[in-house]
Structure 1
Amino acid sequence: MAALAQGTDGGGSVRIPASFSGTVGFKASFGRIPSVTRPDAFLWGHPLVHIGPLARTVADAALMTAVMAGPHPRDPLSLPDTGIDDVAAVERPSRAPRIAFSPRLGNFPVDARVAAVVRGAVSSIQAQDIAVDEVELDFGVDHNELAALWVRTIGVHYAAIAVHWKGEGIDLLGDHADRLTPEFRRMLEDAVGVSAVDHALDDLLRTRILDGLEDVFEDHDLIVAPTLAVPPVRNATDGNTIGPTEINGEPVDPLIGWCMTYPVNFTGHPAISVPAGLTPEGLPVGLQIIGRRHDDESVLAMAARFERMQPWFQDYPGLAQADRAA
């Protein structure tokens, strides 16, 4: 419906819709694209929420990133301009990276249809004489503990906003409680009871996630994994879209537990979702490419290289027909 769009990725809200719609969604390193929040300029004091583009191609995503990126004096967490050239990264020949393939990104359960499509995409990469090692990440905790961490973390930020708004006369948990989704209301109610000390101690678990990623990056340039653990779910007409409660018989949090995107929100690493292929039912599956912190160019370069290996333009029938007519 649009050539370009943007999203606010706090747990995957750039990469999730990209995976579900067969498009490209890029989450640059935390701070690369500034976020001016008021009245709290330090609202996202940790790596968590990133603004990023969605596009039909990697080149378009890179171009939009180049326009959006750069330091902003009113975002104290924005990164300085270090001369990164996102557009050139897409076009230039890249050296052969050493890639770690993490089929479950630790221990996420993954739908067999998604796993098969992603493994096929990885085989296409290997066919280009690119070294790929199958390596599972070790975060030291179960995926359900990671999901609970994300819910607590983002819930505290939302609760702070809700408390501020209450002082401005907008009582989300009072006058407007019946207009909130059940999941969001429960998130706010639980977050109000989280102490400052407990919130700070959650950074110990965030550190495990950081170390789990960096352990792999000691020997590899990039990590590839499924973007999501399931094929696209039906979009709810009331705005309360949630995923499955279990995958392969294993319980998951329906709010975030099927999203293999949010771990890198905790750490600020760049990550992109590109179309990996289609399930037997014709539903899109995303391949997630994760890079070292601040090495956005390598992520874009590999994504563009994969796009050339396995082009997805033909999956947009309206565009393909227009191209043939032209």
Structure 2
Amino acid sequence: MTAKEIRQTYLDFFKSKQHQIVASAPIVVKNDPTLMFTNAGMNQFKDLFLGEATVKYPRVADTQRCLRVSGKHNDLEEVGIDTYHHTMFEMLGNWSFGDYFKKEAIAWSWELLTEVYKIPKDQLYVSIFEGDDSEGLPRDTEAFELWKHYVDEDRIILGNKKDNFWEMGDTGPCGPCSEIHVDCRPLEERNAVSGKSLVNADHPQVIEIWNNVFMQFNRLKDGSLQALPTQHVDTGMGFERLVRVLQGKTSNYDSDVFQPLIQFISEKSGFEYVSSAEPSESGWNEAVAMRVMADHIRAISFVIADGQLPSNNKAGYVIRRILRRAVRYAYTFLNLKEPFLNQLVPVLAD
């Protein structure tokens, strides 16, 4: 399946589950003082979670462009170094605003991944929130019992607050979450070492693919948690990671989302893109530089299209940092001494 087909399959699946398909919100946030950029699919629905806006559609799905380069969620320095972090990424999401809850969210995520996308069940692991005494939060036994209908208990991982309690920022809607991880290693490696021990351990081939967040609380300015008026579901699946898995690649950058950009950079710079290069090996610096450029031009282009130009303060300064990082890698490792990033925009548009 191509990236476009994978995206459309997701939207069609949730449309069949009576979800309203809505447009992606702008990346640049203008009406929320706690955020500069949309960093998750749920940002545009924050008022609905808080009960401060009228729910028009109780079930919604979309694909949301997100940027994580500042504040609580900041992936900038990892981009290009590893194969699965990005400055801008697409978040495939489905939401329930006081409608369905854990039972349906878990069942549908499993159905889509294993029956529609055909990801082998023996390559999947799930996690649930183990609870946190300091917050007075119990273990999510409901999610645990629901997952037992689909996976063996030894594939259900108890996750701590860092990994399995999702918060948008220092304040705002939050709640326990249940992640789905996929083990993309070759069969021989999977048989030798259990993927369970590699979940949330920064292994490049054992990655989180989907997060089901069960919105139950609002984090107040004093740090306390207040129960939300109604319970909601907020799920997010990394589109670039999903495409990589379904296309059988070992890196997000080897999928058809990024390869047209990388091959263009490789051709124009005269350096071969060696996807498998490791640190200290020949081709590593050039490969990192190409990944940085391919990633950063997406972020820069979409943010500028949303009306935010590079500047020396706030959101504009963040974009300036991304632009500078792309130029620095191009100049230092690919010998691209003349303006070049602009040539990538038509490739991205295609």
For Structure 1 versus Structure 2, the TM-score category normalised by the shorter chain is under 0.3
What TM-score, normalized by structure 2, do the two folds share?
0.26
Q: Which has the higher strand share?
A: 2
What TM-score, normalized by structure 1, do the two folds share?
0.27
> Which structure exhibits the higher relative contact order, with contacts defined as CA atoms closer than 8 Å and separated by 6 or more residues?
1
